[in-house]
Amino acid sequence: MFVWSYGKTIFTSPASPSNEFCLSKADKEQYEKEERPESQQEILRRAAKDLPIYTTTASRAIRYCDRCQLIKPDRCHHCSACDICVLKMDHHCPWVNNCVGFSNYKFFLLFLMYSLLYCLFVAATVLQYFIKFWTNELPDTHAKFHVLFLFFVAAMFFISILSLFSYHCWLVGKNRSTIETFRAPTFRNGPDKNGFSLGCSKNLREVFGDEKKYWLLPIFTSLGDGCNFPTRLVIMDPEQVTVSSQNEPAKSSGANQPFPPTRPLSESQNRLLASDSQWVESGPEDENVKSGTKKHIIVSLES
Provide mean pLDDT across the span 129-144.
73
User: Helix axis angle, 200-208 relative to 105-134, nearest 10°?
Assistant: 100
3-state secondary structure 108-151: HHHHHHHHHHHHHHHHHHHHHHHHHHHCCCCCCCCHHHHHHHHH
Question: Looking at 22, 65, 68, 93, which residue is catalytic?
Answer: 93
226, 231, 234, 238 alpha-carbon torsion, rounded to 10°? 40
Are residues 188 and 245 in contact, defined by beta-carbon separation less than 8 angstroms?
yes
| pLDDT at residue number 126 | 87
Q: How confident is the model at residue 134 (pLDDT cuts 50, 70, 90)?
A: confident
Collapsed DSSP state (helix, strand, coil) of residue 92: strand
pLDDT in tens, 37-67: 999 999 999 999 889 999 999 999 999 999 9
| pLDDT at residue number 234 | 58
Provide mean pLDDT across the span 223-242.
68
Task: Give the residue with greater pLDDT, 242 vs 139.
Answer: 139
Burial (0-12, 13-18, 19+ Cβ within 10 Å), 85:
buried
Q: What is the DSSP string of 48-70?
A: TTTS----B-TTS---EETTTTE
pTM of the predicted structure, to 2 decimals: 0.76
pLDDT in tens, 179-193: 999 999 999 888 999
32 CB-side CA count, 13 A:
10
Q: Does residue 82 have an active-site annotation?
A: no
| pLDDT at residue number 269 | 53
| pLDDT at residue number 267 | 53
